[in-house]
């Protein structure tokens, strides 16, 4: 019985540490502006562990066309994600419009960037960049 209690306690401590790794942010804020780069198939490559963690909380990954300070993608809330992807990427490509965003995020203590907040977004008449993966 003690063995099971130790395993449960260890899993609890590990999950708390993982949560803190992706949520403790510094006071350094980063703002930027970019167009959204659309991926048709999202498999979470290069960051599968964080991708899975954010999916548990309903957050989505958004790729940026222009990188800022080595930020290739941002994690945003589901509400913000719905603003950035009003239609499927293929329909947006046919309609020849894409979304340009201004965002704000904070640097995490253990590296990387926290959950981003979309400050503003606008639809522009430009062919979006759409890739399969």
Structure tokens at 53: 């963690």
For the chain (length 133 residues), average pLDDT per consecutive 10?
92 92 91 90 78 91 87 93 88 90 93 93 90 74
Helix, strand, coil percentages (3-state) for the chain, rounded to 5, are 30, 40, 30
Q: How many domains does the chain have?
A: 1
Between CA 8 and CA 27 the distance in angstroms is 34
What is the model's pLDDT at position 133? 65
Between CA 114 and CA 104 the distance in angstroms is 10
Give phi and psi for 118, each to the nearest 5: -80, 120
The range of the structural domain enclosing residue 25 comes to 2-131
Burial 61-93 (b: 16+ CB within 10 A, else e): bbbbeeeeeebebbbbbeebbeebeeeebeebb
Give phi and psi for 44, each to the nearest 5: 75, 30
Tell whether the torsion through CA atoms of 51, 87, 116 and 68 is positive or negative: positive
Specify the pTM.
Answer: 0.85
What is the model's pLDDT at position 120? 95
């Amino acid at each position: 019985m003690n063995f099971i209690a130790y395993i449960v306690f260890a899993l609890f401590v590990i999950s708390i540490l993982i949560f803190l790794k992706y949520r403790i942010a510094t006071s350094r804020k980063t703002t930027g502006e970019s167009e959204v780069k659309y991926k048709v198939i999202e498999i979470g490559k290069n960051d599968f562990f964080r991708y899975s963690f954010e999916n548990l909380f309903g957050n989505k990954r958004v790729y940026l066309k222009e990188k800022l300070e080595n930020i290739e993608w941002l994690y945003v809330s589901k509400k913000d994600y719905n603003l950035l992807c009003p239609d499927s990427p293929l329909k947006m490509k046919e309609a020849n419009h894409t979304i340009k965003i201004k965002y704000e995020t904070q640097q995490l203590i253990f590296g990387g960037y926290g959950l981003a907040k979309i400050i503003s977004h606008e639809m522009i008449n430009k062919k979006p960049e759409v890739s399969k993966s």
